[in-house]
Amino acid sequence: MFTTVRSALARSSTSTFRVLHFSVQCDHLHLIVEADDTKALALGMGTLKIRIARGINRTLSRRGVVWADRYHARALRTPSEVRAALFYVLQNWKKHIRNAHGLDGRSSAAWFDGWTDRPTTRPHGNSPVVAPRTWLAAIGWRRSTVGRWRKSEAPRG
């Protein structure tokens, strides 16, 4: 199922809506996206939800509703907020899996360039995420008082 969801995520970025990072959970997704405006966000998320739902239904040879709820969006306005969101999305799995090491294989962590100890290898294939265009997501979060983090760091329990 992850391959289906990852493929849909990879095909969803456009000139006005960009999937920057993700983490696929068993029953929901965590995403960091950029959108040029609220209309682009709504259209991009709608398209993404449809792509994922169709892919899941096709994979499971079924029909019907996949999403029980709408997406919840929160605008990130400061470097610290962006850094915290990135950390949450890419490292939250360590809160749920005791003694987890390395990177979350069900996320875009392998393509994240903010690790102090960068991954030596990446999964085969093209990146499922795109580079950020906004100052906050590309540069600003790095200027947060904390900066980059190690792969070994985990959110507090």
pLDDT for residue 71: 81
Q: What's the pTM value of the predicted model, to 2 decimals?
A: 0.86
pLDDT for residue 121: 66
Domain presence at residue 148: no
pLDDT for residue 145: 60
Strand partners, 42: none
Q: How many domains does the chain fold into?
A: 1
pLDDT for residue 117: 73
pLDDT for residue 27: 82
Q: d(Cα 104, Cα 101) in Å, to the nearest integer?
A: 8
Domain presence at residue 107: yes
pLDDT for residue 104: 87
Domain span at residue 104 reads: 2-143
Domain presence at residue 149: no
Q: d(Cα 51, Cα 5) in Å, to the nearest integer?
A: 8
Domain presence at residue 153: no
Per-residue model confidence as pLDDT tens for the chain (157 residues) = 889 999 999 999 999 999 999 999 888 899 999 999 999 999 999 999 999 999 999 999 999 888 888 788 899 999 989 988 998 899 888 877 778 778 888 999 989 988 877 666 666 678 899 999 999 999 998 886 665 665 566 665 5
Q: Return the number of other C-beta atoms located less than 10 Å from residue 6's C-beta.
A: 21
Write out the two tokens for 52: 């994922």
